[in-house]
Chain A
Amino acid sequence: MKYLLLLFIIITVALSCKKDKVEHVPTPYELKIPSHFPVMQIPEDNPMTVEGVALGRKLFYEKKLSGDNSMSCAGCHAPSSAFSDPNQFSEGIDGVTGTRNSMVLVNVGWNNFFFWDGRAKTLEEQILIPVEDPIEMHDDWTDVMSTLRSDVTYKNLFFEAFNTTDIDSTHAAKAIAQFIRTMISGSSKYDVMYKAENNLPLSASEQIIYATVTPEETAGYDLFKSLNGADCFHCHNGPLMQVQKFSNNGLDATFSDNGRGDVTGNPSDFGKFKVPTLRNIEYSGPYMHDGRFSTLEEVIEHYSSGIQMSSTIDPLIEFASQGGVQLDAYEKDLIKQFLLTLTDETFINNPDFQEPQ
């Protein structure tokens, strides 16, 4: 009996001495989605959390993600350039330049495919690629994660975001994806015009903005949508100002870059690229997949008179055989004035998207 009692006491003491496992339940993050936007589909295996977004933001600006600790994601997606690169081609850490212009990061959470050629099907998948791309950040995720794991601050941040210390590159990608999904732009003058056009209620501040819409901006919007005018809205419409598709928009008669065609191997996809959003286009130049146009005037001129015929040109470029939609100078100016309504300063300058201190 004595031994039994002793054994019981020993077991009880041993159990009571066992260290409690530390747990952290991340705080759900509520996305601020504008009322006229669709819901954003969030992957089930990467729910939005406050801690995940904070970690993703820090990682987005983290230069340790590159081979020589000199470049972060923001290097090619600068806030001041609508989270794109003002250079035609981005230069990697080895001084090598790419062949495509850096895409803007805005409302990316609604995209169905990523990169100009759509080779990544999820945002998480896309984020993993530039870090190891030799012409971009030229690093190795194993090394990156080893560095991050040895950093106490990151170790804690990852734990708070994912409740684990067993972290790898997928956790980093998930965190950055969470941050990028918060980068929502829906407060431009265009948004107010769009809501008013569709009889959606305007807030007091939106009514004030609506009162500032000029006749030229309205005329530009009408021309933008007109089938016999600029005919832009087939590919750029709705709150996101883009449709989810690949298109050959008549840049070249022959292709130096096959775009989507190199992903699918289908010659019918040669020369097709992802249709980008036009949001914040004022700041997101240069334009097109190869950044060939520096100004909005050049872009408008392309659609007006510079269309090149080819075997895969989008049938929606209906005036292709005439070289374009043939706008006069006044109409081109109207289109430009409308395009400027897509600027969302509150998005560009949102402190939540800037580099954390």
Chain B
Amino acid sequence: MRALKKLTVLCLGVLSLTSCKSDDPEIVMQSSDPLKVTVQPVFGGEDLLLDSTYQTPEGYDIQFTDIKFYLQDVRSGLNLLKDVALFDYRLRGTSMIERTGDVVNYPNLQMNLGVGASVNHNDPVGFDPNSWLYISNANDMHWDWNPGYIFVKIEAKVDTIQDGIALFDHNVVFHIGKDENLKTLSFTDINWINIGSGYYFPLKLDMLHFLNNGTSSIDVKTEYTSHTMAGQEVISAKVMDNFKEALTPF
């Protein structure tokens, strides 16, 4: 009987001790740091400025006047970083994506270069007014319901006559869209850079590499326009392929 009493006291003691232990759910350190993805257009080794003169691999002087493109469904596995983002170098500089989140959720990123077919043909007035797909925000990046959005827009002027006289009278216009030209991008082992106030992932867009990446080149004297129309499939595909190759982590 005495032993039973002792056991009861012991059990009560253990129970009271364990019951006093606070609940200890899995500790989740959710941080919401500012996360930024930036894109710096460059031309070879130097930052690219719109309206400034660079030289193509063929030796022509070229001035880029507009660079815009869509990234859509930017995610790391199940973690969505951004549903859609529009790069507009002239209007918004190097800014691509800005949001808050936990950087550990995005060790790698996959995304569409362009706008996926599931939303590409939706009514542009039907999106949230804050979306980059909304018609007012898309502005000149939307054609109409079909073919949908312009995925990549590059406009430039070229001096094709190498006589020392600056005459940029040769226009380069690449407006590439349509579902068949959608590309996917994947960046692994991303080195998010801690800048104290948040993290950023810098990309560069090398327009010299776009014009000639060693295996594929675009001679703007002869390959200077595409609106993704019938008969322009080859140049449209080349523009998208080269653009994809030119967009890389810094």
Asked if A and B bind, the verdict is: yes
- Report how many residues on chain A are interfacial, defined by Cβ distance under 8 Å: 30
Chain B positions within 8 Å of A313 at CB level: 157
Check if A24 is an interface residue, CB within 8 A of chain B.
Answer: no
CB-nearest residue of chain B relative to A197? B144
Q: How far is the CB of A175 from chain B (nearest CB, A)?
A: 24
Chain A's nearest CB lies how many Å from the CB of B70?
Answer: 16
Q: Are A38 and B129 in contact (CB under 8 A)?
A: yes
Q: Which of A110, A309, A317 contacts B136 (CB 8 A)?
A: A110
Given contacts A38-B135, A38-B136, A41-B129, contact A320 B173 (CB under 8 A): no
Q: What does the 1/0 interface line of A30-54 toward B look like (CB < 8 Å)?
A: 0000001111010000000000000
Q: Is A199 an interface residue (CB 8 A)?
A: yes
Residue in contact with A317 in the complex, picked from B66, B123, B171, B227, CB distance below 8 Å? B171
User: Is A37 in contact with B125, judged by CB distance below 8 angstroms?
Assistant: yes
* A198 and B139 in contact, given A318-B171, A318-B173 (Cβ under 8 angstroms): no
Known contacts A36-B125, A315-B156, A316-B173: A243-B136 contact under CB 8 Å: no
- For A227, give its contact among B134, B157, B227 (CB under 8 Å): B227
A-contact 0/1 string along B218-234, CB 8 Å cutoff:
00000001010100000
* Chain A residues positioned under 8 Å from B50 (CB to CB): 268
CB-defined contacts of B134 to chain A, threshold 8 Å = 38
By secondary structure, the B interface counts as mixed
Please determine whether A245 and B136 come into contact, CB atoms closer than 8 angstroms: no
Inter-subunit contact A238/B142 (CB<8 Å): yes
Tell yes or no: B65 within 8 A of A by CB: yes
State whether the Cβ of A305 lies closer than 8 Å to any Cβ in chain B.
Answer: no
A238-B142, A315-B171, A320-B169 known; A268+B51 contact, CB < 8 A = yes
- Cβ contact within 8 Å between B227 and A315: no
A311 located at the interface, meaning its Cβ lies under 8 Å from any Cβ of chain B in the complex: yes
A315 and B65: CB pair below 8 A?
A: yes
Contact A315 B169 (CB under 8 A): no
Closest to A321 in B: B169
Q: A326 on the interface (CB 8 Å rule)?
A: no
CB-CB under 8 A from A318, the residues of chain B are: 171, 173, 225
Tell me the B138-157 residues at the A interface (CB within 8 Å). Answer: 139-140, 142-145, 155-157
Q: Which residue of the partner chain B has the closest CB to A226?
A: B229
Contacts of B129 in A (CB 8 A): 38-39, 41
Would you list which residues of chain B between 103 and 161 have a CB under 8 Å from chain A?
A: 123, 125, 129, 134-136, 139-140, 142-145, 155-157
Please name the residue on chain B nearest to A200 by beta carbon: B123
Does B172 interact with chain A (Cβ within 8 Å)?
yes
Contact at B168–A311, with CB atoms within 8 Å?
yes
B170: Cβ under 8 A from any A Cβ: yes
Listed residue (B129, B155, B172, B173) with the most chain A CB atoms within 10 angstroms of its CB: B173
The answer to whether the Cβ of A234 comes within 8 Å of any Cβ in the partner chain is: yes
CA distance A316 to B65 in the complex (A): 11
A-B contact count (CB 8 A): 62
Interface size counted on chain B using CB atoms at 8 A: 29
Given contacts A38-B125, A41-B129, A227-B229, whether A315 and B139 have CB atoms under 8 Å apart is no
A354 at the binding interface (Cβ < 8 Å)? no
Residue A244 CB within 8 A of the other chain: yes
Contact of A244 with B155 in the complex, beta carbons under 8 Å: no
Closest A residue to B173 by beta carbon equals A315
Q: Give the distance in Å from the alpha carbon of A239 to the alpha carbon of B125 in the complex.
A: 10
- A311: chain B residues within 8 A (beta carbon): 166, 168
Q: CA separation between A235 and B170, bound complex, in Å?
A: 19
Q: Annotate A187-201 by CB proximity to B: 1 below 8 A, 0 otherwise.
A: 000000000011110
B172 A198 Cβ-Cβ under 8 A: no
Residue of A38, A199, A245 with highest tally of chain B CB at under 10 A: A38
Closest chain-B Cβ to A260's Cβ sits at a distance in Å of 12
Q: Looking across the interface, which residue of chain B has its beta carbon closest to that of A267?
A: B51
Q: How far is the CA of A121 from the CA of B143 in the complex (A)?
A: 26
A181 to chain B, nearest CB (A): 14
Contacts of A199 in B (CB 8 A): 145
Interface residues of B (CB under 8 A from A): 50-51, 65-66, 123, 125, 129, 134-136, 139-140, 142-145, 155-157, 166, 168-173, 225, 227, 229
**In the complex, the 3 A-B pairs of residues with the closest C-beta atoms, listed nearest first:** A268-B51, A315-B171, A243-B140
11 inter-chain pairs at a CB distance below 8 angstroms, sorted by A residue, are A36-B125, A38-B134, A38-B136, A39-B136, A198-B123, A235-B140, A244-B139, A315-B66, A316-B155, A320-B169, A321-B170
A interface residues (Cβ-Cβ under 8 A, vs B): 36-39, 41, 110, 197-200, 227, 234-235, 237-239, 243-245, 266, 268, 309, 311, 313, 315-318, 320-321
Q: Given A234-B140, A311-B166, list of 20 further CB < 8 A pairs? A: A39-B129, A39-B136, A41-B129, A198-B123, A198-B145, A199-B145, A200-B123, A227-B229, A243-B140, A244-B139, A244-B140, A245-B139, A245-B140, A268-B65, A309-B169, A315-B65, A315-B66, A315-B171, A315-B173, A321-B171
